[in-house]
Structure 1
């Protein structure tokens, strides 16, 4: 799945909800300080090197709030930026610019940080066949934008939510009574419900990998918290029968070695849950 969640309706709902949270009954600071009808311009100033993300969203926010705002895009999402670059210029009612400023910055600062981290990790493993995946370890009500940022940074989106793929994690397996039991129950459920969903199973050791191979009927095998020797052995055992995903505590220091073990995917929760926002500001011109 790539960006199926990025619909005009989903963007509109997000912007509506975010503005309701931030503006409420009115931006009284702006309403009090500015004479009615004051016009102005502002520039989006990049204050840190990285990958820019959220410019397209910023334009949506500005023009959703005030369709008469004019947005001049000077960069595009995914561009490599350096301190001092200007991302866009917005012209129109100064009140509209001020009221939407913080929402634009909150989104872009976090999205750019995620895109930057994703780009850095994806670059480290670009010499291998391994693709970088995100996870569901996202900020509630902000997942759409965080996953969008991962794709802008050069990563790939894993399942978006609980409804679009089966992932049998360790607790599913333990509650179900074992790997085989969990897989067979899942296959029966999907058939009964007439659902066509991919199945991934988390494994913690080579014995569980062998059980998945014996049981069959899945699409992905997750190799969780395994060292490189174990991963290489697991990949050899699977021998292309299923796609493989390494996961669990993977860092910038370890990702290259893990990718070189031959896995198809590496998932990194830290792409979305452990980033420091990029320094970006909106300055009146």
Structure 2
């Protein structure tokens, strides 16, 4: 799916730079002829975005070539030469900024993810993204999370059910939400419910426990413990592990480099972090002629 969308995405990005006229500076100052340039990392990181960078190059000039020395998911150090761009010199310059913008953004997501994955190594927990992505770049940013060693949460509102606190409030409570879920969801739809307190968690698990006791399939596949500290998470995990059906435990809220290890050691399966994508920043790359 990403592959089918790359070319139009690259073209839209280039329109922002080139408008209807093109690269005025290169057209006026650079004579026709071939040239090459090295893509150089200015900082340490993890690479992501090679496919969309290549789409930019194709859109500018199909005759341009990119030869990669690193692949998506590879770690690199400052000063590393990651790729070589070769072809018409004007085309190399025209493609430069848009390609580097994509690479910088996506590699920053992969790098941030890899850092957090490293911080919880050995705990058994996994780092996941959220829907807090740049509009139009969700598929690429979620791919970058995978390049950094993380896992993807749902891709949108369409592919799984995640009942959040506002849904519970508007529905009238946990029991009302559960009743509607039990009546409307089938075996092909994954259901996760966010809880703000252990009392809500107990109520939710009790409702599903009773259903299982009647010989019916469980409704809830995962619970999200929102904005809880390690002690509460550990107690919540213990409740879930005692449940008669397997339930994934996700935690979210208040997660950063200082807190992530303690949260992971409390025993959840997943730690979801919006900052993987919404606050990743941009890595610094240069294209050196």
Alignment of 1:269 onto 2:271: no
Find the counterpart in structure 2 of residue 224 from structure 1.
226
Indicate if the aligned counterparts of 1:52 and 1:112 stay in contact, CA closer than 8 A: yes
Cα RMSD, aligned residues only: 1.6
Alignment of 1:249 onto 2:241: no
Question: 1:149 aligns to what SS in structure 2?
Answer: helix
Q: Which residue of the other structure, out of 151, 164, 177, is the alignment partner of 1:182?
A: 177
Find the counterpart in structure 2 of residue 9 from structure 1.
4
Find the counterpart in structure 1 of residue 212 from structure 2.
none
Q: Which residue of the other structure, out of 139, 146, 150, is the alignment partner of 1:144?
A: 139
Alignment of 1:30 onto 2:49: no
Q: CA 1:184 to 1:14, structure 2 compared with 1: closer, same or farther past 3 Å? A: farther
In 1, distance between residues paired with 2:63 and 2:75?
A: 30
Question: 1:121 aligns to what SS in structure 2?
Answer: helix
| Residues 203-212 or 91-100, more deviating | 91-100
Residue-pair matches, total = 275
Find the counterpart in structure 1 of residue 47 from structure 2.
52
In 1, distance between residues paired with 2:157 and 2:137?
A: 16
Alignment of 1:83 onto 2:85: no
Question: 1:266 aligns to what SS in structure 2?
Answer: strand
Indicate if the aligned counterparts of 2:11 and 2:56 stay in contact, CA closer than 8 A: no
Alpha-carbon offset, residue 166 of structure 1: 0.8
Unpaired stretches in structure 2, ≥5 consecutive residues: 209-218
In 1, distance between residues paired with 2:7 and 2:226?
A: 37
In 2, distance between residues paired with 1:65 and 1:198?
A: 42
Q: CA 1:186 to 1:51, structure 2 compared with 1: closer, same or farther past 3 Å? A: same
Alignment of 1:207 onto 2:199: yes
Alpha-carbon offset, residue 149 of structure 1: 1.1
Q: Which residue of the other structure, out of 116, 121, 124, is the alignment partner of 2:119?
A: 124
Q: TM-score, normalised by structure 2?
A: 0.90
In 2, distance between residues paired with 1:183 and 1:13?
A: 42
Question: 1:251 aligns to what SS in structure 2?
Answer: coil
Question: 1:277 aligns to what SS in structure 2?
Answer: coil
Find the counterpart in structure 1 of residue 263 from structure 2.
258
Question: 1:108 aligns to what SS in structure 2?
Answer: helix
Q: TM-score, normalised by structure 1?
A: 0.91
